[in-house]
Amino acid sequence: MTIDLQIGGYVIRLNEPEGHACLDWPFSTFEPFVTAASLAPDITMTVRVVERLPDLPRGSLLYDACQGLWTWHEADAGYLLDSPYRNTREPEAVALVSEDIRTASVWVIGRQEGTPRLGWSPLHIINPIVEVCLLTRLARDGGLLLHAAGLLTEQGGPAEQYGWAFTGASGAGKSTISALYAARGARVLSDERIILRMVESTIRVFGTPWPGSGCHARNQQGPLTGLFCIRHGQDSHVLRRMPPGAAASFILPQCFLPHWDRAAMDGTLAFLDAVIETVGCSDLAFMDTPDVVEFLNEQRLARAAVPS
């Protein structure tokens, strides 16, 4: 079985050539991200379903996520990622990843669930193996995965489409503001994680299949024209332009950072600086009331009316 996913403009191919049963799939938030097999993959993963994982040599430990949730090692031809079961920490999957993060060989322990042959769950490959490889490629190429809500909305027709991102810690109001915009007809790309990338000299915002409590997950993209650091307000909506240093200090903890790869870390930090310089960033303290949508539109129109 072959599954092609398109996330953040990257095509990731999962190829399991022996026809083992595919379990727990399709998963609802990933359905919009399943794409045509005619597209050339950016990352190809060959999946082997086995009863026991191979004993592969491991080089130096480069990263340990959350006390063994997954580990990233040096390997002869690139990298080795160990992915144990979340609850027991017993071995579940292992991946040999090429140095350029374009190919990977993945072994996963199969499950016997009412089928004559072992089955496998794509979700156990996607999290964390696909996520880690995608994040590394994205950051090396100049982009980032951000803990944020993203949306596309139009004023006066498709030619005036713009994309906004609202970033903040858990509880800051990402799902709240997503719901308020969705009620006004905006296309919410995600209320939890978005991807920002430079595409043909334009910074663009992409939806992801990893939603928040509002379950928004769209495989769509658009130009990023507004970036907001959000928090709940006291008595009224307040919008203030943030200095670049303050914006970077707020946003950086909300980025998914590839600590295991120096080139990827450098790419993330450089791209974040470019986003703040190009798009700018505003501090938004908002009330949980529908008129925040009109408030932000008025602010946008007021800025647009000021001569540059």
Q: What would the pLDDT profile of 102-154 be if each residue is shown by its tens digit? A: 999 999 999 887 667 899 999 999 999 999 999 999 999 999 999 999 999 87
Q: How confident is the model at residue 305 (pLDDT cuts 50, 70, 90)?
A: very low
Q: How confident is the model at residue 155 (pLDDT cuts 50, 70, 90)?
A: low
Which pTM was predicted?
0.93
The closest of 127, 116, 118, 138 to 66, measured between CA atoms, is: 127
- Residue ranges and CATH numbers for the domains of the chain are 2-140 (no CATH), 142-305 (3.40.50)
Q: How confident is the model at residue 10 (pLDDT cuts 50, 70, 90)?
A: very high
Question: No. of H helices and E strands in the chain?
Answer: 6, 18
Burial of residue 195 (CB within 10 Å: 0-12, 13-18, 19+) is buried
What integer pLDDT is reported at residue 158 of this predicted model? 54
Whether cis (ω within 30° of 0) applies to the bond prior to 26 is: yes
Question: For 47-97, what is each residue's pLDDT tens digit?
Answer: 999 999 999 999 999 999 987 789 999 999 899 999 999 888 899 999 999
What integer pLDDT is reported at residue 308 of this predicted model? 37
Q: How confident is the model at residue 307 (pLDDT cuts 50, 70, 90)?
A: very low
Mean pLDDT: which of 168-172, 251-255, 299-303 is highest?
A: 251-255
How far, in Å, CA of 206 to CA of 100, rounded?
A: 23
Question: Per-residue pLDDT averaged across 261-266, rounded?
Answer: 96
What integer pLDDT is reported at residue 66 of this predicted model? 81
